[in-house]
Structure 1
Amino acid sequence: MPLTTLIESLERLDEAHLRMLDLAGIKKQTIMDNKVNGLIDIMNQESKLMKQIGQLETARSEAAYAYIQSVGIRSNLQLNLTELTRLVFDPEDKVRLQHIQQKLSDTLHRLKHANDLNQKLIEQSLSFIDYSLDLLVGRPNQEFTYHHPSDKSSGSARPGIFDARG
């Protein structure tokens, strides 16, 4: 019974991560379409889902502890799924646990890849915005002739595009 609870909690965790993966796909398109309000909505949904995943992770941890107790281990070990699988002696249960472990691992790898891609897209977007602002506003004027770095008096580096001294 405790193993069934553990497997069910792992399945719920996988479902939650699949929803995060769906949001990551929507987020990618939203970033590419430059929809800031849509991005904010998605981030709010992700935040709620992360809170739910935290609760599911707590339930998974409790189910794993209950299983460890049911097989006669009385310490408070924090075993990973591979280590827990070694404690399962029924072949069918072992296969079920290994299957959900592999499924969850695949989902997490896909989610990590999607998040990395979204992070790169956001960085590129911010770089483009920074570049566009530089083109519009411009950097402070720089002299195009050489001046020795210790010569502070030569060249008037203005802080902006307006010269109030003029």
Structure 2
Amino acid sequence: MPLTTLLELLERLDEAHIQMLDLAAFKKQTIMDNKVDGLIDILNRESKLMKLIEQLEEQRAQAAYAFLQGVGIRSNLNLNLSELSRLVFDPEDKSRLLHIQQKLSGTLRRLKQANELNQKLIEQSLTFIDYSLDLLVGRPNQDFTYHHPSDKGSGSTRPGLFDARG
């Protein structure tokens, strides 16, 4: 019975991570479309999903411990699924466990790639915003006309977009 519970929890974890993967695709499009409100909504949904994943992960750890106790292992070992599968002797159960391991591993790999891409897109967006601001207001102490280096007093410095003296 503990193995069945463990397998069900692993399936639910995979489903939750697939939902995160779907959100990552929406996030990518939202970033590319520069929709800040949509991004905030996605981040809120991701936060709720992360809480669910944390709960499922706690339940998974408890189910793994119950399984270990069921096969006579009394210590609280933190075994990965490959190690755990060595303790499953029923061929059908072992096959199900290895299948969900591969499935979850693939989902997590795709999610990692999607998150890395979204991070790069956000970094590019921030770089573009910084560049655009530089074009709009100029860099601090940026001179547009030539001044002799010894003539420091005659140059005027342009205030930035936000003038603190105002």
Residue correspondence of structure 1 range 14-163 to structure 2 within 5 A: 14-142=14-142, 154=152, 158=157, 160=159
Q: Distance in 1 between matches of 2:152 and 2:114?
A: 51
Q: Distance in 2 between matches of 1:118 and 1:161?
A: 31
- Cα RMSD for the two superposed structures: 2.0
Report what 1:12 is aligned to.
12
TM-score normalised per structure 1 = 0.88
Amino acid at match of 1:98: L
Residues 31 and 82 (structure 1 numbering): CA distance in 2 closer, same or farther, change over 3 Å? same
Q: Distance in 2 between matches of 1:74 and 1:21?
A: 37
Residues 125 and 6 (structure 1 numbering): CA distance in 2 closer, same or farther, change over 3 Å? same
- CA positional deviation for 1:159: 6.5
* Residue correspondences, number: 158
- CA positional deviation for 1:157: 7.8
The question of whether the paired residues in 2 share the 8 Å contact of 1:139 and 1:160 is answered with no
Unaligned stretches of 5+ in structure 1? Answer: none
Amino acid at match of 2:56: L
- CA positional deviation for 1:82: 1.0
Residues 74 and 33 (structure 1 numbering): CA distance in 2 closer, same or farther, change over 3 Å? same
- CA positional deviation for 1:140: 2.2
- CA positional deviation for 1:146: 8.4
Q: Distance in 1 between matches of 2:122 and 2:8?
A: 36
The question of whether the paired residues in 2 share the 8 Å contact of 1:6 and 1:64 is answered with yes
